[in-house]
Structure 1
C-alpha cells in the first residue's frame, strides 16, 4: 500500500497545472511527470533512489535578503528543504515545514507564496545514503520583520545574505531563483 499516494496525487496536480517559466523548466516539468508516472511512492525517501523533495527559499519582506543554511552534509549555503513525509498534506506544506524546521523561525512568521517557483534536479554526493538524486520543487516564503533564525542540527550555520551578495559558491539554480524573486 502506498504511503505517499496523497502527496503523489498532489504532485501530479501541481505539475500538470504549473506553467513553466522557461523551456528548461518545461523539460524538467515533463521529466518530473514521467518519473512520477513510473514510480509508486515517488515522493517517499524510501521510494526510488531518485525521488521528489520540497524546498523553500526564505526572503525578507522587501526582498533584499535571503536566509540560507550552511548545510551539514553538503557543506554549502543552500535554501531550506528536504524529504517529503507521509504526514505532509502536500508538497507546498512539506516545503514550509522544512523551512520552519531548518531555519528555526516560528511557523507564524513565514508566509509561503502560493506559486511553485522552480524545479531543480540534482545528483547527490557521498554524504547521502541510499538517495542518489533529488527532484526538487521550490517555493519562496516571506519572513516577517524581526524573525530571527536558529541553527538546526542539519545545519552548521543559518544566516541572512544580501540578494546582491550571495555566498561565492552559491549554486546557479539558487542564484536564478533569487534573481526571479517576485
Structure 2
C-alpha cells in the first residue's frame, strides 16, 4: 500500500464510531502533503500501529511507553515509508520481539488523531495513526525494546483500567470483543 492506496482505502473507510468518522477527511487531506510520512512535518504526520490480540480474542498486547509513561498499543513513525501496513508490522516485531505475528486483514482496522506533547527534540504535534489488527501467540517470549518500560498481555476485562480510559484503545477493544466487529 502506497500513498495513493492509502488514500483510496481511507475514502472507502466506514466506521460506526463518530470520533473516527471525524478524522477521515483530515487523513485523506494529509495524504496530499509531500511530508505526510516524515517526522519533519512538525504539525503532524502519519504513524502506524498494531492492535495485537491473541487468536481467541481474550487478551491484547500492550506496551508501557517509555516517553509517554502510558500503556498503549505498539507502533511508531513511518519515517518515509508510505506502506503503513508494513510500518505497523515492523514496529510490532521490533517492539515485542514476536516472530509469529499474523496480519488479520490488510484493510485498516482503526484510525486515530492524537496529540503528542512537546519534548526536548520536537514541538507538540499530532500523530495521524493508522492501525492494523494483528494476531500473535501468547506463549511466544516477549522482548522489551528501549522504547518500552514493559510489555504485557492484558486480559480484555482489565484493559480499561490499565489504559486509564484511553478512548481510542477502548474503541479497538470494542471492535475485537463484539461479534459485529469480528474480523
TM-score (norm 1): 0.86
Q: Aligned-residue CA RMSD in angstroms?
A: 1.9
Aligned equivalents of 2:31 and 2:67: distance in 1? 26
Identify if the C-alpha distance between structure 1 residues 91 and 128 changes in structure 2 by more than 3 Å, giving closer, same or farther: farther
Stretches of 4+ aligned residues off by more than 6 angstroms? none
Aligned equivalents of 2:18 and 2:168: distance in 1? 15
CA contact (8 A) 2:42 2:122 kept: no
Q: Shift of the alpha carbon at 1:84?
A: 0.7
TM-score (norm 2): 0.86
2:104 aligns with: 113
1:125 aligns with: 117
Deviations 1:30-81 (A, max 9, x none): 11112223x2121112234311110011111111011100000100000001
2:71 aligns with: 77
Identify if the C-alpha distance between structure 1 residues 139 and 52 changes in structure 2 by more than 3 Å, giving closer, same or farther: same
Determine which of 58, 81, 89 is the counterpart of 1:96.
89
1:162 aligns with: 155
1:42 equivalent in alignment to 2:42: no
1:25 aligns with: 20
2:140 aligns with: 147
Identify if the C-alpha distance between structure 1 residues 48 and 24 changes in structure 2 by more than 3 Å, giving closer, same or farther: same
SS in 2 for 1:180: helix
Aligned equivalents of 2:101 and 2:165: distance in 1? 23
Determine which of 51, 61, 64 is the counterpart of 1:57.
51
SS in 2 for 1:54: strand
CA contact (8 A) 1:64 1:163 kept: yes
Aligned equivalents of 2:122 and 2:157: distance in 1? 36
Tell me how many residue pairs correspond in the alignment. 173
5+ residue gaps, structure 1: 1-5
CA contact (8 A) 2:37 2:82 kept: no
5+ residue gaps, structure 2: 177-181
Aligned equivalents of 1:46 and 1:74: distance in 2? 20
